[in-house]
Structure 1
Amino acid sequence: MDTLPRLISVFCLLLVSSNTLRAFQQTVSIDTITVVNVFPHDPQAFTQGLLYAGNDSLFESTGDYGKSSVRKVALHTGKVEKLQKMDDSLFGEGLTLHGDRLIQVAWLQTNGFIYDPKNLSEIGTFNHDMKDGWGLATDGKVLFGSDGSSSLYKIDPQTFKTVSKQVVYYKGHQVHFLNELEYINGEVWANVIPTDCIARISPNDGLVVGWILLQSLWKELIEAGNTDINVLNGIAWDAEQERIFVTGKLWPELYEIKVTPIKSTIEEGMVEKLCLPKPFNSA
């Protein structure tokens, strides 16, 4: 009489074991970048969200109390064409465009804001289920969100309720501090704070399918005397022309990059060292 429950239990155990084994044995690409173009970027912009707006312009969300904003920026000049300042009590975070709505979350908040992309006027607010607001992106159907943990959220863009939540893994390791997000060719790309790495995540199972190493950008900026810059943060994708843009908090430049396979040999454990920060409660 108990054969069926036992079979179900064994099947579930095998399924969990299979997923765990896959997380350890997955093949992951390790890439670097080639800089295609360099554009001016406001060095006072504490970049928290970035997306391509079309016609060689970008939407950008900036953080820091008293300085947070949503803005539209000309790509080639870095000039701020439109700006909506946020209340001084708010710290702006991730930003995405879904249909005719710019959607933004805020740090240490479970509420967010909706703007008209034409003039950046605030047209609504919402509440979400994430513990905190960090990153946002969309595939046009659902929103993807991050809250600084290792979780990737799928969010209904109409109700803003969480549809599902997946822990992001790289070879059995949780990837903590997922931050700014972008959806590119079926993958969710995520800045991992405070590293110079971008994780390429499968939205189907939360596994990291690739890493992009951008340490060269930080090094060049520092060597040029930009000592006040903060971490890499901001990924934008121009799907029509297949262009990728990245920048960072307080960076004076924004880069169009091309992802290229890394030529040098990666030592065992190097990706873990470069791209996997430990959570605050770890030794």
Structure 2
Amino acid sequence: MKMLKWLTANIFLVFFMACNGDKASSKRFSITLGKGQEKVQYNQTLKAGITNRKKLEIDSVTYSIDGIRLQTEGNDINLKGIHLGHQTLEATVYYEGQSEKISKPITILAEKAPEIYTYTIINTYPHDDNAFTQGLEFYKDTLYESTGRRGESTLRKVDYRTGKVLRKKELSAEHFGEGLTILNDKIYQLTWRANTGFVYDMDFNKIKDFPYGNSKEGWGLCNDGTHIYKSDGTEKIWMLDPETLEEKDHIETVTNTSVFSRANELEYAKGKIYANTWQKDGVMIINPKTGAIEGVIDFRGLKEKVTQNKNLDVLNGIAYHPGNDTFFITGKNWDKIFEVKIAEKEE
């Protein structure tokens, strides 16, 4: 069963391998890892030791990741309470009245393979097939949408039952619209490569622009009621302060076998981040605290249910309706939005 889940999950996930080597060492010491442990799953034991090149008298060694001190027992390190993904294992070596820090890159993977989910269509609604959907979100039972392409990008308020656009704001021609989210009666919208996002009031009046930080592109947005989450096309999902829009922290999206990139449009629901996977008919279910991809929703077949046209593009757009406990799914230049229920896929 575990092998089946692993194989099915890989239909949707394109993994990449990370190279690992010493990031920092000295003429005195370096970190050595157990065989094959450059990649290790969360909550497993990492075996690490110190190569003592000068045969100095070592008093003690402590290990940490991201400033978090790790529990050790001899050469065994317990990997708990840390973020997943590409990390740096740092050792502080205390010797002969001195200390020295050395480090080594490692990759922390998820404990378990993703569960596989499928969908049941509850309702089908009309959708503007001129909308290159980049962001989709319900706020107080009303659907809001961000669309892309230069010269065609918009922010919209939509009656999802009829497909009618109730309010629309066009972006300037140099801006390619991307994800959106709404928090405390403020709308946040990204653009793609302009390093600029916008904040609006609920009447679409722009309050301010904001620059990106370490993330160079804007892809998807969602929020948990306190923090805003931002994807940028890499393995990282950033946590933003909703007032300053400063990138406070990030997680990396990983499975039990590899780090995964290209989370696109985001939705926060039931304590998880749901992320469209760019160019795939699947949605990842991500733990926002660790970055673990805990599930993958198989949306294959949905695109074939819309009217085929020359501009038809990929699935992109997921919005959770808390009142109905359903998800609304669409894509770029799709003429339909599907209201669906999600359930674990039977074997």
- Separation (CA, whole Å) in 1 of partners of 2:328 and 2:187: 19
The aligned residue for residue 311 of structure 2 is 228
Q: CA deviation at 1:25?
A: 3.9
* Partners of 1:48 and 1:92 within 8 A in 2: yes
- Superposition pairs of residues 147-226 of structure 1, within 5 angstroms: 147-221=232-306, 224-226=307-309
Q: CA deviation at 1:23?
A: 2.9
Q: CA deviation at 1:108?
A: 0.5
**Closer, same or farther: CA 225–100 of 1 in aligned 2, 3 Å:** closer
The aligned residue for residue 268 of structure 1 is none
Unaligned runs of 5+ in 2: 1-56, 86-106
CA RMSD of aligned residues (A): 2.3
Amino acid at match of 2:77: L
The aligned residue for residue 118 of structure 2 is 32
**Closer, same or farther: CA 10–170 of 1 in aligned 2, 3 Å:** closer
- Give 1 or 2: higher strand fraction: 2
**Closer, same or farther: CA 262–227 of 1 in aligned 2, 3 Å:** farther
Amino acid at match of 2:344: P
Amino acid at match of 2:200: Y
The aligned residue for residue 126 of structure 1 is 210
- Separation (CA, whole Å) in 1 of partners of 2:309 and 2:256: 35
Unaligned runs of 5+ in 1: 266-283
**Aligned partner of 1:138 among 208, 218, 223:** 223
The aligned residue for residue 89 of structure 2 is none
**Closer, same or farther: CA 90–29 of 1 in aligned 2, 3 Å:** same
Q: CA deviation at 1:244?
A: 1.1
**Aligned partner of 1:250 among 324, 330, 333:** 333
- Whether 1:14 aligns to 2:77 is yes
Number of positions where the alignment pairs a residue of Structure 1 with one of Structure 2: 260
- Separation (CA, whole Å) in 1 of partners of 2:334 and 2:318: 13
* Partners of 1:247 and 1:254 within 8 A in 2: yes
- Separation (CA, whole Å) in 2 of partners of 1:114 and 1:7: 42
* Partners of 1:72 and 1:83 within 8 A in 2: yes
- Give 1 or 2: higher helix fraction: 1
The aligned residue for residue 66 of structure 1 is 151
With normalisation by structure 2, the TM-score equals 0.70
* Partners of 1:144 and 1:152 within 8 A in 2: yes
**Closer, same or farther: CA 10–166 of 1 in aligned 2, 3 Å:** closer
The aligned residue for residue 166 of structure 2 is 81
* Partners of 2:200 and 2:206 within 8 A in 1: yes
SS of the residue 2:187 aligns to: strand
Q: CA deviation at 1:113?
A: 0.4
SS of the residue 1:83 aligns to: strand
Amino acid at match of 1:251: W
**Closer, same or farther: CA 11–126 of 1 in aligned 2, 3 Å:** same
- Separation (CA, whole Å) in 1 of partners of 2:292 and 2:233: 17
**Closer, same or farther: CA 174–7 of 1 in aligned 2, 3 Å:** closer
**Closer, same or farther: CA 4–248 of 1 in aligned 2, 3 Å:** same
Q: Deviations over 1:241-272 (max 9, x none)?
A: 32211110000000100002222x4xxxxxxx
SS of the residue 2:61 aligns to: helix
The aligned residue for residue 51 of structure 1 is 137
**Closer, same or farther: CA 7–219 of 1 in aligned 2, 3 Å:** closer
* Partners of 1:107 and 1:133 within 8 A in 2: yes
Identity %: 32
**Closer, same or farther: CA 7–53 of 1 in aligned 2, 3 Å:** closer
The aligned residue for residue 5 of structure 1 is 61
Q: Which has the larger radius of gyration?
A: 2
